């Protein structure tokens, strides 16, 4: 069997393990699905009057506007949970089992990221299903839904790379878990839950330049208006940037792990 | 060609030199027992030999491949079961073995067949669909061993495979290690149990404070520190009569009590008939007789100045107090 094919099988097998692990451990699935779903319900039920604010984008419903935010939250927490799971693997020595196998060590990280990306895909489908059940319209139709889903999946992979790098560097599940609040702060300082036109400084400026805002807009536009090439490209650029940062940090952290054991 | 070679192998963590230039040669097909207390450098050495940690000095090769320059070739030749079975409690036993088969590059059908065979071999077929978290310590160790064997490695590293196991589980692991060795697998076994090294190892290396302090077959190491002795229990008052009779046979050691005589003999069990015959001819009754061989603990004490298992117990007690 060729090396590339073997590596692909390894990445797929580790990705499947990652997904099974998430569904078998309630503390992993809860932040990815339950928490964002509850927040979506609370925000949609309690803050839909925001639609009346001058400057709020023209949307069919507040739920329609909030879908992208819920997907982003779910995707970010999937990346964080992936990092926690990898750190637990390091703490309990499971990573040694993987690293003592004749596979490229980066395949171990890719396997984890494949699982995280699959959870991002699952989250996008879950929130589209909720949106459709509760009456939200997808202005971009099926192509728009597919585009948003693909962006969320790619973003999960990118954010998962950062989580994996932190896990590899620290080897501590509690450190990665401690990033949970930071994930929420980053989201609140983006346009995930509120348009930047209605924010006050300095949050407005931070949100304008926050890479997450570019991804949110790329995901949201096909839902509330239709596919927009500019927003899509900006989202892809932001994802690519995060992927590159995650890649560099992960390679460096892998080397560090080999040096320190 | 030796299966494992280390030359001046070193590992520093900051200012601390955990492994201080060790030299080793483990021949193909042997069981090498790497003996030492907690913190002696056993696990650090194993992690370097299994490519999980880069050496900071010296060199080592496993199955003919350099551990630093040809790490993937080393990993393709070895099986590894590290200290405290590294298992995912959320996976089932079968899932874990199949994942290991995939990691080792076995095609799907072959991997599935191999998983079935190995689970059968280690007696876990009945528990294969259960999550590993529900396994006992002994079952986890057997599963870990099975996972290490999935690709039929030339060299098997077992890092304290029986630590914390009950005697029955320990014996099961020993039997499995012997069977593997009979099939030609070279085994590098770290342990802090003297009996384990004595029972299993063809060769023993004793490590203390990051340095190899003794190496050789258990018999050779024991012989280095002295001959076996015969311990005789005689009737009260017979010792004075017995001593001049036994003196020509072997060196008399200081007695433990008024009824016991200790005679160091060169030929071990072969000297027993001579001792019994001499005493019988002198009309001295022997109540009991025992041939006492030097133990690896005696070797350990001679080389390090303290008892290995006593030291381990003291550390365990200290850890228990700290927690």
The last residue of one of the domains, among B189, B207, B222, is: B222
Are residue B42 and residue B180 in the same domain, yes or no? Answer: yes
pLDDT tens, B95-150?
999 999 999 888 888 888 999 988 988 888 899 999 999 998 888 988 998 888 88
Are residue B47 and residue B179 in the same domain, yes or no? Answer: yes
Mean pLDDT score, B285-312: 76
Pairwise CA distance, residues A221 & B170, whole Å: 63
| Partner residue opposite B75 with nearest CB, options A17, A93, A100 | A100
- Indicate the number of domains in chain B: 2
- Of the two residues A150 and B13, the one the predictor is more confident about is A150
The total number of residues shown for chain B amounts to 323
Longest dimension (CA), chain B: 77
Are residue B169 and residue B245 in the same domain, yes or no? Answer: no
What does the pLDDT read at residue B321? 46
| Two tokens, residue B48 | 């370097």
Are residue B241 and residue B165 in the same domain, yes or no? Answer: no
A160–chain B nearest CA distance, Å? 21
Are residue B132 and residue B252 in the same domain, yes or no? Answer: no
**Residue A258 scores a pLDDT above 80:** no
Instruction: Flag whether residue A261 sits within 8 Å of chain B, measured between CB atoms.
Output: yes
**Residue B312 scores a pLDDT above 60:** no
**Residue B50 scores a pLDDT above 60:** yes
Residue B119 lies in a domain: yes
Mean pLDDT over the full length of chain B: 85
| Partner residue opposite B53 with nearest CB, options A14, A101, A261 | A261
What does the pLDDT read at residue B209? 87
Mean pLDDT score, B243-249: 89
Instruction: Domain ranges for chain A, please list them.
Output: 3-260
Pairwise CA distance, residues B237 & A3, whole Å: 80
Number of cross-chain residue pairs from A and B with Cβ atoms under 8 Å apart: 77
What does the pLDDT read at residue B320? 45
**Residue B157 scores a pLDDT above 90:** yes
Mean pLDDT score, B77-101: 88
Work out the pLDDT band at A107, boundaries 50, 70, 90. confident
Residue B242 lies in a domain: yes
Alpha-carbon dihedral sign for residues A94, A100, A104, A105 = positive
Residue B96 lies in a domain: yes
Mean pLDDT score, B150-169: 85
Are residue B66 and residue B120 in the same domain, yes or no? Answer: yes
Residue B300 lies in a domain: no
What does the pLDDT read at residue B49? 95
CA angle A30, A97, B97 (to 5 degrees): 80
Work out the pLDDT band at A18, boundaries 50, 70, 90. confident
Work out the pLDDT band at A51, boundaries 50, 70, 90. confident
- Assign residue B267 the CATH number of its domain: 3.30.70.100
Work out the pLDDT band at B187, boundaries 50, 70, 90. very high
Strand B155-159 and strand B78-81: the pairing is: parallel
Residue B304 lies in a domain: no
What does the pLDDT read at residue B311? 54
The answer to which of A137-146, A225-234, B169-178, B203-212 has the lowest mean pLDDT is B169-178
Residue B116 lies in a domain: yes
The complex scores an ipTM of: 0.81
- Assign residue B149 the CATH number of its domain: 3.40.50.300
- Of the two residues B312 and B12, the one the predictor is more confident about is B12
Work out the pLDDT band at A122, boundaries 50, 70, 90. very high
Work out the pLDDT band at B51, boundaries 50, 70, 90. very high
pLDDT tens, B200-241?
899 999 998 899 988 888 888 887 777 788 889 988 778 888
Instruction: Flag whether residue A103 sits within 8 Å of chain B, measured between CB atoms.
Output: yes
| Partner residue opposite A102 with nearest CB, options B76, B86, B88 | B76
**Residue B85 scores a pLDDT above 90:** no
**Residue A152 scores a pLDDT above 60:** yes
Are residue B263 and residue B213 in the same domain, yes or no? Answer: no
Pairwise CA distance, residues B304 & B66, whole Å: 31
A17–chain B nearest CA distance, Å? 8
Are residue B9 and residue B105 in the same domain, yes or no? Answer: yes
B287–chain A nearest CA distance, Å? 55
User: B57, B83, B88, B104: best mutation site toward chain A, by most A Cβ within 10 Å?
Assistant: B88
Mean pLDDT score, A120-144: 91
CB-based contacts of A35-39 (< 8 A; 24+ apart in sequence):
A35/A73, A35/A77, A36/A70, A36/A71, A36/A73, A36/A74, A36/A77, A36/A123, A36/A127, A37/A70, A37/A126, A37/A127, A37/A130, A39/A70, A39/A73
User: A29, A88, A102, A168: best mutation site toward chain B, by most B Cβ within 10 Å?
Assistant: A102
- Cα distances (Å, whole numbers) of residue A79 to A35, A126, B170, B203, B232: 15, 17, 41, 49, 72
Are residue B30 and residue B73 in the same domain, yes or no? Answer: yes
Are residue B238 and residue B211 in the same domain, yes or no? Answer: no
Contacts with B79 (C-beta within 8 Å, 6 or more apart), sequence order:
B148, B149, B150, B151, B153, B155, B156, B157
The last residue of one of the domains, among B203, B222, B241, is: B222
What does the pLDDT read at residue A261? 63
The answer to which of A92-101, A116-125, A236-245 has the lowest mean pLDDT is A92-101
- Of the two residues A16 and B86, the one the predictor is more confident about is A16
**Residue B313 scores a pLDDT above 60:** no
Tell me which chain B residues have a C-beta less than 8 angstroms from the C-beta of A97.
Answer: 80, 82, 86, 100, 103, 147
DSSP structural state of residue A55: T
Work out the pLDDT band at B322, boundaries 50, 70, 90. very low
What does the pLDDT read at residue A215? 95
Residue B318 lies in a domain: no
**Residue B259 scores a pLDDT above 70:** yes
What does the pLDDT read at residue B323? 42
Instruction: Flag whether residue B76 sits within 8 Å of chain A, measured between CB atoms.
Output: yes
B268 lies in which domain range? 227-292
Residue B287 lies in a domain: yes
Are residue B36 and residue B75 in the same domain, yes or no? Answer: yes
| Partner residue opposite A259 with nearest CB, options B54, B98, B105 | B54
């Amino acid at each position: 069997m060729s090396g590339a094919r073997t590596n692909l099988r390894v990445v797929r097998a580790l990705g499947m393990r990652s997904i099974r692990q998430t569904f078998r451990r309630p503390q992993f699935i809860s932040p990815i699905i339950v928490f964002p779903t509850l927040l979506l319900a609370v925000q949609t039920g309690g803050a839909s009057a925001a639609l009346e604010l001058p400057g709020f984008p023209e949307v069919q419903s507040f739920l329609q506007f909030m879908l992208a935010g819920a997907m982003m939250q779910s995707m970010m927490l999937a990346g964080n949970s992936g990092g926690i799971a990898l750190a637990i693997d390091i703490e309990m020595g499971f990573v040694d089992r993987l690293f003592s196998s004749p596979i490229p060590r980066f395949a171990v990280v890719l396997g984890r990221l494949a699982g995280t990306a699959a959870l991002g895909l699952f989250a996008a489908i879950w929130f589209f299903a909720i949106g459709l059940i509760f009456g939200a319209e997808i202005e971009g139709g099926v192509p728009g839904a597919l585009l948003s889903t693909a962006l969320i999946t790619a973003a999960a992979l990118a954010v998962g790379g950062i989580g994996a790098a932190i896990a590899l560097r620290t080897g501590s599940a509690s450190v990665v878990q401690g990033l949970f609040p930071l994930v929420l702060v980053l989201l609140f300082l983006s346009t995930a839950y509120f348009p930047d036109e209605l924010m006050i400084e300095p949050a407005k400026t931070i949100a304008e330049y926050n890479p997450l805002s570019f991804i949110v807009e790329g995901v949201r536009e096909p839902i509330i208006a239709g596919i927009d090439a500019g927003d899509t490209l900006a989202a892809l650029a932001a994802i690519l940037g995060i992927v590159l940062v995650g890649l560099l940090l992960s390679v460096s952290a892998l080397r560090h792990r080999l040096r320190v054991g | 060609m030796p299966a494992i070679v280390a030359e001046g192998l070193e590992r520093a963590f900051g200012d601390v030199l955990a492994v201080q230039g060790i030299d080793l040669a483990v021949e193909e097909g042997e069981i090498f027992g790497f003996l030492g207390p907690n913190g002696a450098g056993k696990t650090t050495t194993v992690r370097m030999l299994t490519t999980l940690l880069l050496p900071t000095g010296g060199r080592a090769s496993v199955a003919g491949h350099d551990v630093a320059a040809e790490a993937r070739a080393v990993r393709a030749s070895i099986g590894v079961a590290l200290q405290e079975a590294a298992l995912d409690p959320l996976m089932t036993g079968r899932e874990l073995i199949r994942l290991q088969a995939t990691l080792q590059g076995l095609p799907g059908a072959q991997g599935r067949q191999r998983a079935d065979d190995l689970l059968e071999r280690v007696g876990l077929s009945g528990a294969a669909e259960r999550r590993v978290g529900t396994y006992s310590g002994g079952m986890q160790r057997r599963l870990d061993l099975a996972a290490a064997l999935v690709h039929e490695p030339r060299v098997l590293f077992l890092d304290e495979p029986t630590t914390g196991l009950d005697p029955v589980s320990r014996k099961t692991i020993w039997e499995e290690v012997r069977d593997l060795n009979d099939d030609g697998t070279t085994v590098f076994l770290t342990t802090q149990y003297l009996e384990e090294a004595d029972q299993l190892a063809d060769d023993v290396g004793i490590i203390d404070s990051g340095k190899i302090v003794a190496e050789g077959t258990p018999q050779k190491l024991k012989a280095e520190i002295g001959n076996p002795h015969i311990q005789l229990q005689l009737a009260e008052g017979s010792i004075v009569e017995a001593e001049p009779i036994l003196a020509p046979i072997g060196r008399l050691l200081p007695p433990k009590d008024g009824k016991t005589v200790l005679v160091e003999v060169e030929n071990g069990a072969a000297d027993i008939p001579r001792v019994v015959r001499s005493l019988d001819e002198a009309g001295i009754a022997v109540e009991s007789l025992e041939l006492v061989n030097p133990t690896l603990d005696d070797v350990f004490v001679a080389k390090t100045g303290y008892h290995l298992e006593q030291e381990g117990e003291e550390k365990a007690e200290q850890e228990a107090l700290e927690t």
